[in-house]
Amino acid sequence: PRRRCPDPTMASPPPPSGAGGPEPPLQYSLLLQHLVGEQRRPRAWDPAALGGIPSPPKSEEQKVVERAMESCAFKAALACVGGFVLGGAFGVFTAGIDTNVGFDPKDPYRTPTAKEVLKDMGQRGISYAKNFAIVGAMFSCTECMVESYRGKSDWKNSVISGCITGGAIGFRAGLKAGVIGCGGFAAFSAAIDYYLR
């Protein structure tokens, strides 16, 4: 019997992909590594590239103003003014709901005049305003100094500054009152900081 010769087209190997043949299939695992995997490159946030308004460079005057506003003295002064206003409003409010405002302890049966009531309300408002302003300035200045010393901005700054402020205020009445004031003001500061954060 005659042997048949093999077909030359069947025996030839497929051409390599670089020689103009078909490309290898896309591997989705490599694609996913570049999209969400370890080889993903984070994109820098640039508002100008997204059509936003580019911010111009800050002048030297703006930098000086920013440094002044971030200083401990400015923060203490701002807290002092805020405490004065809040304390004055609180004092006037408590005087308004107090039934003994304007009454003379020597003559409790005499009805006070409107001028006497307003005078007592003003005196109580000024007293509360001074106390709130002192406490606010002490707390803000202490917190700023503690934050500058530690180099961190967390809840511990509020607790430490609250303890120092409460201890300094309560220490005027004795050591025991200073310790109680330290603990109470620290706990109050921690609760306010937790609520605000």
Residue-wise burial string across 47-72, b where 16 or more C-beta atoms lie within 10 A, e elsewhere: eeeeeeeeeeeeeeeeeeeeeeeeee
| pLDDT at 54 (0 to 100) | 63
**Whole-number average pLDDT of the chain:** 79
Domains in the chain: boundaries:
68-152, 154-196
| pLDDT at 13 (0 to 100) | 53
Return phi, psi of residue 59, to 5°.
-80, 170
Query: Low-confidence residues of the chain, pLDDT below 70?
Result: 1-28, 31-32, 34-55
| pLDDT at 37 (0 to 100) | 62
| pLDDT at 25 (0 to 100) | 59
| pLDDT at 59 (0 to 100) | 80
Structural contact between residues 100 and 119, judged by C-beta atoms closer than 8 angstroms: no
170-196 pLDDT tens trace: 888 888 999 999 999 999 888 888 887
| pLDDT at 39 (0 to 100) | 66
